[in-house]
Structures are given as C-alpha cells and as structure tokens.
Structure 1
Amino acid sequence: MKNHYMLVQITDILRQLFELGAIKVRGLIKSIKEISSNLLEAFRTRTLTTEDILKIRKRTQIRLQ
C-alpha cells in the first residue's frame, strides 16, 4: 500500500510539472512570435544609419549561462 501511495505522489508531481511546462512553452512561443513580428516591422520601416553600420561591424560575443 505504501508503494502505491508513493507512485501516486510521483505521478501527480510529474503531471504538475508537465502542465506547468506546457504553459511556459505556450508563453515562449507567443514571445517568439512577438519578437519576430517586431523585427519584421523594423526591417520594413527603419533605415540603417552610419552609426548602425558601425555597431554592426563591431565584434560581439554572446554567452549563455
């Protein structure tokens, strides 16, 4: 009986993690869509200045932690 109770608890924890993960993924997908639409709008409406071109030429490094 004790093993059954432990398995029920583990199953409930996994279900909760799955549900919360699904919510986070949906939010992330919405964020990605918003970013891509904002980027597309910027490409269509804005022009590059000399300052922008100089910033593009500068080397950058991105670190993910």
Structure 2
Amino acid sequence: MTRRVEGLEQLVSHEWLKLSPEDARLFDIEDGEWVNVSSRRGQGASACDGYLPLGRVLDDLPL
C-alpha cells in the first residue's frame, strides 16, 4: 500500500490481496497464503484474501 496518500493508512491499516483463480493457479497461490508484492512505488506482504472474477482489476476496498 502506498504511504504517499495522507490519511489512507487510517482507513486501510493493512495490505490486502485478491486475484482471479486463474492468476492464483498461474503463480501457485492458495487462499490465505502470504505473498510478497512489490512495485516501483514500494513493497508489502499480504495474505491472499479471496478471489476476484477474471478480468476484474479492483473490488470493493475493505473499509
């Protein structure tokens, strides 16, 4: 999660990860398994918390 947006950490205090079942199989990720995620903006670790339908990029934020 980016730490660049003021107030975001108060709304969402932890990282979370959801992906399609197809992507989970591709990367051999099970529901509940901890995954390291990184980008040019930062890195974090999160447990895979459920699955999204194929083609969906973002689901409801866990607020």
Q: TM-score range by the shorter chain?
A: under 0.3
Would you tell me which structure has more helix in proportion to its own residues? 1
TM-score by length of 2: 0.21
Structure with more contact order per residue of length (Cα contacts < 8 Å, sep ≥ 6): 2
Larger Rg, first or second structure (1 or 2): 1
Would you tell me which structure has more strand in proportion to its own residues? 2
TM-score by length of 1: 0.21
